[in-house]
């Protein structure tokens, strides 16, 4: 098996994200793979379906600012340069695929809670990433 050259780590910035980053580092060990990290912020309008006539822009800006700070600390603690840290807004699986293609990623590493049944039907980011990716995907089991 050839070594990976570009690895995209998709994180939700929870405590479990550290395990996802550790697995990505383990895969990259001994190679010159570039590590990038992405965090996707879902717009509040997605959560409420646009049914609530409120302006969420101030709240959304605050969420973005906090996520940027968290991602910066996360990247620093895992040795990922600032220019390889990406925050985007949208649907996680769509944005992870887009960033993976933009970067020429040959591996995406994402955490998976191993949901099944109704929880899986309600949506799983890891499942969405797996089924739409144009490269390999490593789903790291987290938070059993």
Spans of all domains in the chain: 6-141
Q: Does domain 6-141 have CATH number 2.40.50.140?
A: no
State the average pLDDT for the chain.
84
Q: Which helix (H) or strand (E) holds 35?
A: strand 34-41
Tell me which residue of 38, 45, 125 sits closest to 87, measured CA to CA: 38
In this prediction, residue 55 carries a pLDDT of: 65
Residue 32 has pLDDT above 90, yes or no: no
pLDDT in tens, 60-89: 888 899 999 999 999 999 999 999 999 999
List, for residues 42-66, the tens digit of each pLDDT value. Answer: 887 655 555 556 666 788 888 899 9
Q: Is the pLDDT of residue 103 over 80?
A: yes
């Amino acid at each position: 098996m050839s070594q990976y050259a570009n690895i995209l780590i998709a994180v939700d910035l929870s405590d479990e994200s550290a395990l996802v980053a550790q697995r990505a580092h383990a895969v990259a060990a001994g190679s010159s793979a570039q590590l990038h990290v992405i965090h996707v912020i879902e717009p509040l309008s997605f959560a409420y379906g646009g049914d609530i006539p409120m302006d969420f822009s101030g709240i959304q800006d605050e969420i973005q600012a906090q996520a940027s700070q968290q991602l910066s600390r996360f990247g620093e603690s895992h040795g990922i340069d600032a220019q390889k840290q990406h925050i985007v807004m949208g649907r996680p699986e769509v944005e992870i695929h887009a960033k993976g293609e933009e970067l020429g990623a040959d591996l995406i590493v994402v955490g998976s809670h191993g949901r099944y049944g109704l929880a899986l039907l309600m949506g799983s980011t890891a499942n969405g990433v797996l089924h739409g990716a144009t490269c390999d995907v490593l789903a790291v089991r987290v938070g059993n």
